[in-house]
Chains A and B, each alone.
Chain A
Amino acid sequence: MADLTLKDLYDGFRNPNVIKGLTKLINEEAKKLPHSINIMEVCGGHTHSIMKFGLLQLLPQNINFIHGPGCPVCIMPKERIDHAYILSMQKDVILVTLGDMIKVPGSLGSLQDARANGADVRFVYSPLDTLKIAKENPNKKIIFFAIGFETTTPMTTALIDVVLKRRFKNILFHINHVTVPEVMIELIDSRDEHVDSYNNRIDAFLGPSHVSVITGSKIYEQFPTKYHRPVVVAGFEPVDVMEAILMIVRQFNEGRCELEIEYKRSVSYDGNLKAQALIENYFEKTDLFKWRGLGNVPDSGYHLRPEFSDIDAEKIYANILPRKEIEDHKLCICGDILRGMAKPDECTIFGKACKPQSPLGSCMVSSEGACAAYYKYGNLLK
């Protein structure tokens, strides 16, 4: 076998001829489909790939995509974003977080606005960059506002590990990590009796690429077995996505309902055990907050274990952090859109009161959300 080069790992999975080839195969297989199918790509990174490479334009009419919850920041309720805003405005606090947080507005504004109002907000590329900020500002409280799905969660715990082992006294954490399988369940089988999830249209899932690197594909076992939804874990390059779609279509045509891995080069059944152990060590599962657009998603978040309360900013600043839930706009139908029961352009405020520059619901907040994607690519989509 020839040697693998770094270039192969990029170009090989973006090869236009391979994309065209897979398009042909998908279209041929799709002719044999017993009925049209709706695939949900759970992760915003996949939505981004699908839009960036225009993959919807290559698919036949009987394969549809329902865009998933998008990014882990966009499903955060406004009152949670307000936590970041309020913490950043505290005297002698430096709020450190990842770039995705900058534009998302809470009820008081976004972190961008907080900064314009005099808050010391720093956006870092890596959680480890927090250490430098803490060293340079020994008299300030550095609060790391942690965000992300399971891909990013272990990195926060690695930072916590270093902070505790090297005894940094001025770093605290506000944890907002959320998890994928629980929201997948919520979409197809809600615990909330007030929510109509029975009419959801999701037939199969495209499993997230990098969440799965950490967790392993084992976390999706129940979807084919208990919920009869095939799951194919896909890479996020366009060839990966197309190959995964082909695998899903073949499952339907062959009467199978399985968990498969398309992204074999990076995803295993067990995942990264060391990362999982770190998460287990510092965090416990909890009902963290109501997901914007979806409501209560049981057990879908992480918070610091009680023995680490000393570095838990949410506990330390509890008296100034709001608990009251802020409702989304009453005309927002994100919940139905996420379940495939409605399309963005069926929402009465889509493109009018609710636009990317002034988003009213989570599907528009995220540049990877269904509504934002529709708004941007609207007449170039199928």
Chain B
Amino acid sequence: MCLSIPSKVIKLDLERNVATVDTMGVKREAGLELMEEGDVKLGDYVLLHIGFIMNKIDEEDALESLNVYKEILEKLDEQERQELIEKDDNCQNRGK
């Protein structure tokens, strides 16, 4: 449940156990208490919830999903094109 947003880690302060994260230009400190030591690195994409980092976003999985969506769109575009061609082929008014 609950509002949680992807952010990028731009600074680490291991003494205080906090990271500075950036969400579209808004920077905030977030606690690392819920992450294993050494798990979070600069440049990581993480999920932020009420002031804590709660996990790392798996970049490969994210890109894979985005790729799947790209393929869906390409397939649908192709389908639409085919349908338009068929519609055109079957057009009664052709040549009139």
Direct contact between A and B judged by beta carbons closer than 8 A = yes
Q: Is A148 an interface residue when CB atoms closer than 8 A count as contact?
A: yes
Given A22-B72, A72-B1, A128-B31, CB of A275 within 8 Å of CB of B54 = yes
Q: Is the CB of B58 within 8 A of A71?
A: no
Residue contact B1 to A274, C-beta cutoff 8 Å = no
Segment at the interface with B among A110-118, A184-192, A205-213: A205-213
Q: Is the CB of B2 within 8 A of A10?
A: no
Interface residues of B in 27-77 (CB under 8 A from A): 31, 33-36, 45, 47, 49-52, 54-55, 57-66, 69, 72-73, 76
Measured between beta carbons, the chain B residues less than 8 angstroms from A2 are 63
- Closest Cβ of chain B to A53, distance in Å, is 15
Given contacts A125-B50, A155-B52, A266-B47, A9 and B57 within 8 Å (CB-CB): yes
The answer to whether the Cβ of A380 comes within 8 Å of any Cβ in the partner chain is no
Q: A6-B8, A151-B54 given as contacts; is B76 within 8 A of A210 (CB)?
A: no
Q: A21-B69, A272-B34, A274-B36 are in contact. Are A4 and B1 (CB under 8 A)?
A: no
Kindly report which residue of chain B lies nearest to residue A20, judged by CB atoms: B76
From known contacts A21-B69, A45-B2, A151-B4, infer whether A4 and B62 are also in contact, taking CB-CB under 8 Å: yes
Instruction: List which A1-30 residues lie within 8 A (CB) of chain B.
Output: 1-2, 4, 6, 8-10, 12-13, 15, 17-18, 21-22, 24-25
Contacts of B50 in A (CB 8 A): 98, 125-127, 152, 155
**CB-CB contacts below 8 Å: A257-276 with B:** 264-266, 272, 274-275
A266 touches B34 (CB 8 A): no
Q: Which residues of A contact B73 (CB under 8 A)?
A: 17-18, 21
B91 at the binding interface (Cβ < 8 Å): no
Partner of A210 from the list B34, B49, B57 (CB cut-off 8 Å) is: B49
Contact-size category for B: 35 or more
Residues of A within 8 A of B59 (CB): 4, 265
User: Counting CB contacts under 8 A, is A145 at the interface?
Assistant: no
Cβ of A93 < 8 Å from any Cβ of B?
A: no
A287 adjacent to chain B (CB < 8 Å): no
Contact present for A274 and B35 (CB under 8 Å): yes
Closest chain-B Cβ to A43's Cβ sits at a distance in Å of 4
Contact check: which of B31, B45, B54, B69 meets A9 at CB < 8 Å? B45
Residue of A nearest to B35 (CB): A274
Cβ of A83 to closest chain B Cβ, rounded Å: 21
Report the bound CA distance from A15 to B70 in whole Å. 10
Tell me the complex Cα distance, A230–B66, Å: 24
Contact B52 A210 (CB under 8 A): no
B residues less than 8 Å from A98 (CB atoms): 50
- With A45-B2, A98-B50, A127-B51 known as contacts, the answer to whether A8 contacts B62 (CB < 8 A) is yes
Most chain A C-beta atoms within 10 Å of own C-beta, residue among B3, B31, B54: B54
From A9, A18, A127, A274, B62 is in contact (CB under 8 Å) with A9
CB-defined contacts of B35 to chain A, threshold 8 Å: 274
CB neighbours of B54 from chain A (8 A):
151, 154, 210, 213-214, 272, 275
Known pairs A25-B72, A126-B51, A152-B2 / 12 extra A-B pairs, C-beta < 8 Å: A2-B63, A6-B7, A9-B62, A22-B72, A128-B52, A151-B1, A152-B49, A155-B50, A210-B54, A213-B4, A265-B62, A266-B55
The 3 closest A-B pairs by CB, nearest first: A126-B51, A158-B33, A265-B62
- Could you list some 11 contacts between A and B, CB below 8 A? A1-B63, A6-B8, A15-B69, A72-B1, A125-B51, A126-B31, A127-B51, A266-B55, A266-B58, A274-B35, A275-B54
